[in-house]
Structure 1
Amino acid sequence: MPDCLKRLKASLAGLFGLPLLVLPLLGGCGKKQPADYPWPLIQGFPKPQVPAENPMTAEKVLLGRTLFYDQNLSANRSQSCASCHLQEYAFAEPLATSVGSTGEPHRRNAPALVNIAYNKTLTWAHDGLISIEHQLLLPMFGESPVELGITHHEQEVLARFRTPAYLALFRDAFPDSFSVFSGVEGINFELITKALASFVRSLISLDSPFDHYAYLQDDNAISESAVRGMNLFFSERLECHHCHGGFNFTQSTGHEKQLIDRRPFHNTGLYNVDNASLYPAEDNGLAEISTLAADNGRFRAPTLRNIAVTAPYMHDGSIATLEQVVDFYAEGGRNITEGPYRGDGRKNSLKSPFVKGFTLTGQERQDLLAFLNALTDKSFLSAPEHARPE
């Protein structure tokens, strides 16, 4: 095994506390990328960065898509990846927080899987997760909370995919792997993880009315109200673009022309428990990983693409509607007047300086919402190439 893979396995084992046998034995450290994967991009847009050890192919995407919708991937066969990531909701779900395959409630809202190929960091609050292949280990093998619940059921789960139909898909997606292994025994979690990551990377959404207006020069693609809302969004008066900027409307962006991360984690004043600049103890954001008090309440700013269909909002799903989100930022945070989380988030000393509050007229509020709705890519929400395979 190359030294770089030994180092990677060791670091992942430490990061997730997972046994080495379930970590992907990634197949190389410097393979060349195929140049012909047909990314569905607007002309002139940069291509996403893809790990050298897992180049994109249509065959891998098809296998990953099939696995994504297969409940056999959970230990008790009750859930698939698609159970919490539904296409009609931009691969999010209309629940405040998710529920795992064993019925265990989670503490966070399922994020939308929109243009994840461009994400520089993954999950709500982890600056060390920068690879989809590594992030996938959490829902697959994590035990606190349990999602798919594969840990301690590895061989049982693998056996379900050792069928003639899956064997054909795996051989097409990973022909080199089956020159080493014999038949169905070549099917393993390394290949499953790579295929799932490839499908997730293929979920590109760049066909909203805003895209037609801004990049395809169609002046009639969005309403006059949405144009006014766009100007408000990008104004220094509202400051929205500082955390939700760029073509993907998030700071957490990396691609072939942008290699530097902009540290996309922010405290928005959602909480200020006991007016002590604290977030709820069960989820204090990036501070949980960094152990730095200054990171208390910092969460990753998600993309705003398809934001109108991904309610409820925030890391814990505690804001129900997009209209309420606009009002929250207009207030400059949230003041909770009773209950265990009582405190004025507007006065949280760790709050981002960009969340300073603003005043909107009734028309301006409608205009801003019209712009946010113009980021909805309806073709993405119903694209057959992303749907459950027939």
Structure 2
Amino acid sequence: MSRAWKVSALLGALLAVGCDGEEPHPPPPGPTYDWKLPAGFPEPFVPVDNPMSEEKVQLGRHLFYDSRLSGNGTLSCASCHEQQRAFTDGKATPVGSTGDHVPRNAPGLANVAYLSTYTWANPQLETLETQALVPLFNEVPTELGLAPRLDEVLQRLRSDTRYPELFRAAFPDEAEPVGKDAIVKALASFQRTLLSGSSPYDRYLQGDNTAMAPAAKRGMELFFGERAECYHCHSGPHLTNSFRAKDSRLPGMQFFNTGLYDVDGNGAYPPDSPGLFEFTHKATDQGRFRVPPLRNVALTAPYMHDGSIPTLEAVIDHYTSGGRNVTEGPFAGDGRANPNKDPLVRPFTLTPDERADLIAFLESLTDTAFTQDPRFSNPWQ
């Protein structure tokens, strides 16, 4: 079909078998689950101690939309992950249930089942189950705020007319199914079903040559070409090099510095969000973050790990400039000269028409069926 399809398919295949090209060892057999996968999507990776079931998914969906899951009953997972925004919130950064500032942008959840690590820069979070513990129990900053009030929250759920039955159906072998582990496993199960694969771009890759407008096709050639070089990081089936499926070996973790800041002239980022450096304490890891997937990217503004770039047009400005020069404020500095910046982030030129074409391609990644799918909507309404 097109060069873009060949590049995407090749990178997806390489990621599926691992960097050394050897076939991965299959996981042990488990219960079957009807994923209803979009065309061409592999089966997602699922931890052996949390096999998928429709009952878990439905319990997780109820929990995801329930503000009673927060310590003070004011915030739900959906407060920061709204379906119509591809499960983002439209804010630069969220505010937790107790008013704490959360320093990193709320990422979209489309195809989150296929990521190899979770959150923007934590290399230790390799499953949705471990990731769920962060918003649920983190205290600095507080997000949902369960840490000091878990027993109170569990009692709320046990007292509800619907939850005891939902928990028993999801975890029939547990003497007391309403508990912390069940909440975490159910939330992870629901999030694994948030699969987006019906955008114009998807339909084009499946053989519908009319699915994408001519401008979007031209933008796709730029995206996967050697001038813009977007595909080096936004690669594979989900346009991120963070990828894991059922039959793939967990790849080497990749985090990148895109020259967003250089606070001290030596590569420093704002102290509340230093990237991978927070975990490794290596100076060269300042400002290194996971590459976000781009599906539904037109719906997920503002952009970057801290929401500091408001529009797709401004994102393109950032990359064509080879980074960002912050000229005032406490984080002033020329990110274009950041010593830790990835060498692929370098200045290049696009004409106004080419910029418009690139935006058209990014907009072709919008999957309106996903943002309107009743399977992912609020079950309490």
Q: Report the 3-state secondary structure (helix = DSSP H, G, I; strand = E; otherwise coil) of the residue aligned with 1:186.
A: coil
Contact 1:306 1:377 in 2 (8 A): yes
1: CA distance, partners of 2:298 / 2:304: 13
Mark the CA change 1:170 to 1:32 in structure 2 (over 3 Å): closer, same or farther. farther
Q: Which residue matches 2:173?
A: 176
Displacement after TM superposition at 1:37 (Å) = 2.4
Q: Tell me which amino acid in the other structure corresponds to 2:30.
A: Q
Contact 2:276 2:286 in 1 (8 A): yes
1: CA distance, partners of 2:226 / 2:173: 53
Contact 1:251 1:262 in 2 (8 A): no
Q: Which residue matches 1:72?
A: 68
Displacement after TM superposition at 1:59 (Å) = 1.2
Q: Which residue matches 1:307?
A: 297
**1:165 and 2:162 are equivalent in the alignment:** yes
Q: Which residue matches 1:7?
A: none
**1:199 and 2:221 are equivalent in the alignment:** no
1: CA distance, partners of 2:348 / 2:52: 44
Which of 177, 189, 198 is the equivalent residue of 2:180? 189
1: CA distance, partners of 2:276 / 2:312: 24
1: CA distance, partners of 2:309 / 2:209: 33
Q: Which residue matches 1:47?
A: 43
Displacement after TM superposition at 1:331 (Å) = 0.5
Q: Report the 3-state secondary structure (helix = DSSP H, G, I; strand = E; otherwise coil) of the residue aligned with 1:247.
A: coil
Q: For 1:72-111, what aligned pairs fall within 5 Å after superposition?
A: 72-111=68-107
**1:269 and 2:251 are equivalent in the alignment:** no
Displacement after TM superposition at 1:32 (Å) = 4.1
Q: Tell me which amino acid in the other structure corresponds to 2:197.
A: L
- Divergent runs of 4+, >3 A: none
Q: Report the 3-state secondary structure (helix = DSSP H, G, I; strand = E; otherwise coil) of the residue aligned with 1:299.
A: coil
1: CA distance, partners of 2:110 / 2:35: 17
Contact 2:198 2:370 in 1 (8 A): yes
Q: Which residue matches 1:122?
A: 118
Size of the aligned set, in residue pairs, is: 353
**1:133 and 2:129 are equivalent in the alignment:** yes
1: CA distance, partners of 2:56 / 2:210: 38
Q: Report the 3-state secondary structure (helix = DSSP H, G, I; strand = E; otherwise coil) of the residue aligned with 1:272.
A: coil
Contact 1:101 1:148 in 2 (8 A): yes
**1:368 and 2:358 are equivalent in the alignment:** yes
Q: Tell me which amino acid in the other structure corresponds to 1:38.
A: W
Displacement after TM superposition at 1:66 (Å) = 0.3
2: CA distance, partners of 1:208 / 1:375: 5
Task: Pick 1 or 2: higher relative contact order, CA cutoff 8 A, min separation 6.
Answer: 2
Deviates more, 1:334-343 or 1:313-322: 334-343
What is the TM-score of this pair, normalised by structure 1?
0.88
Q: Tell me which amino acid in the other structure corresponds to 1:385.
A: R
Q: Tell me which amino acid in the other structure corresponds to 2:264.
A: D
2: CA distance, partners of 1:196 / 1:65: 7
**1:235 and 2:231 are equivalent in the alignment:** no
Identical amino acids, percent of aligned pairs: 52
Contact 1:47 1:255 in 2 (8 A): yes
* CA root-mean-square deviation: 1.3
Q: Report the 3-state secondary structure (helix = DSSP H, G, I; strand = E; otherwise coil) of the residue aligned with 1:300.
A: coil
The unaligned stretches of length 5 or more in structure 2 are 1-26
Contact 1:125 1:265 in 2 (8 A): yes
Mark the CA change 1:36 to 1:153 in structure 2 (over 3 Å): closer, same or farther. closer
Displacement after TM superposition at 1:283 (Å) = 1.5
Displacement after TM superposition at 1:39 (Å) = 3.3
The unaligned stretches of length 5 or more in structure 1 are 1-29
Displacement after TM superposition at 1:36 (Å) = 3.2
Per-residue CA deviations over 1:343-365 (Å, capped at 9, x if unaligned) read 11111111011111210001100
**1:208 and 2:199 are equivalent in the alignment:** yes
Q: For 1:270-289, what aligned pairs fall within 5 Å after superposition?
A: 270-289=260-279
Q: Report the 3-state secondary structure (helix = DSSP H, G, I; strand = E; otherwise coil) of the residue aligned with 2:162.
A: helix
Mark the CA change 1:359 to 1:262 in structure 2 (over 3 Å): closer, same or farther. farther
Per-residue CA deviations over 1:291-312 (Å, capped at 9, x if unaligned) read 1111110011100000000000
Q: Which residue matches 2:7?
A: none
1: CA distance, partners of 2:179 / 2:272: 35
1: CA distance, partners of 2:177 / 2:369: 36
1: CA distance, partners of 2:335 / 2:363: 27
2: CA distance, partners of 1:68 / 1:136: 11
Displacement after TM superposition at 1:171 (Å) = 1.6
Q: Report the 3-state secondary structure (helix = DSSP H, G, I; strand = E; otherwise coil) of the residue aligned with 2:320.
A: helix
Q: Report the 3-state secondary structure (helix = DSSP H, G, I; strand = E; otherwise coil) of the residue aligned with 1:47.
A: coil
Displacement after TM superposition at 1:154 (Å) = 1.2
Q: Tell me which amino acid in the other structure corresponds to 1:381.
A: T
Contact 1:39 1:47 in 2 (8 A): no
Q: Tell me which amino acid in the other structure corresponds to 2:51.
A: P
2: CA distance, partners of 1:204 / 1:49: 13
